[in-house]
Amino acid sequence: MSQLFTPIELGKLTLKNRIAIAPMCQYSAEHGKATAWHRIHLGHLALSGAGLLIVEAAAIEAAGRITPQDLGLWDDETEQALGSVLQDVRSYSTMPIGIQLAHAGRKASTDVPWRGGGFLQPEQGGWQTSAPSAVPFSDDDNAPVALTLERIEEIKQAFVDSAVRADRLGLDLVEVHAAHGYLLHQFLSPLSNKREDQYGGSLENRMRLTLEVFREVRRVFPADKPVGVRISATDWVDGGWDLAQSIALSKALEAEGCAYIHVSSGGLAPQQKITVGPNYQVPFAAAIKKEVAIPVIAVGLITEPRQAEAVLVEGEADMVALARGMLYNPRWPWHAAAELGAKVDAPEQYWRCEPHEVKGLFNS
């Protein structure tokens, strides 16, 4: 029996299989509000047969957006807009849906990727960024403002408020974004965190904000719904955040009741040197899995069904998450089930498309 298509529990949430659709920024919101694009995008992904769909990073405050077009969940208008999209998606899909909550920190105020992704000045629609320390991501960026303790408390409260909104929307899961060089990752890494107070210096201090944010989100999000964390296992830069520190953070998160660790890498510094290839981030997940008892999700150019199956069979992770591969082939779980001899959910309207050679593929 295919391990990829066996159930798994994230906290008290049971998933039908071990395929997650990773959060993927669409840069298609209007002042943080979900649009018709999100209805189409999430709608077809929710019909894919994956075990879990995680909505793209939603900014917990307007200043926390990566671009002016980022999705948000910081006020009634953004909540209502996303709620309208989710209502339609749920009309035709029972797939569990989670959301990633994020703050971009010094990587905020940039243009969308298809226009180059460069830093936006205020006259271009950008804004003043903030970070642990006044260290810009790139030499071409304006320096961020170092966060005061008062602003840190406001950001923590914003994560809490967004988590409450996520619950009101009926979302099944919250993922705290502490990866890819965004604000919480900036606090974790000594490359971007030069503080000399309780949030800087030692590993314990640099982990403090991520743990505090997790603890507060866990406190307000219902106990029967999981809260997980996405991390970058390494900065891929000497002297930066690395695997040993990621293992320490994962253990600390597990002790706080974290439901899973979603393991990616990089994104903090332009100096990163990454050799990209199939499974290139899986060894990080495997190393963390050896040190914690909670589920670990692997990502990183996992594109083929038997490749994904092998990650699980070899004990390197408990789930796999696909992002770009799912955009390229939104029915990836169907094809994986067909190749691995498993069954998968599909909408009744599509049952007639089942190929003759894999009759019985769709659950009914």
Which listed residue (182, 199, 280, 328) is catalytic?
A: 182
Percent helix, percent strand, percent coil in the chain, to nearest 5: 40, 15, 45
- Find tokens 């077009």 and name the residue: 69
Amino acid identity of 304? Answer: E
Tell me which residue of 213, 207, 224 sits closest to 259, measured CA to CA.
Answer: 224
280 catalytic, yes or no? no
Q: Which residues contact 24 (CB under 8 A, 6 or more apart)?
A: 56, 323, 324, 326, 327
CA distance 284 to 263: 7
Instruction: Give the containing element (helix H, strand E) for 252.
Output: helix 243-255
CA distance 31 to 100: 18
Amino acid identity of 261? Answer: I
CA distance 334 to 332: 5
Amino acid identity of 333? Answer: P
Active site residues: 182
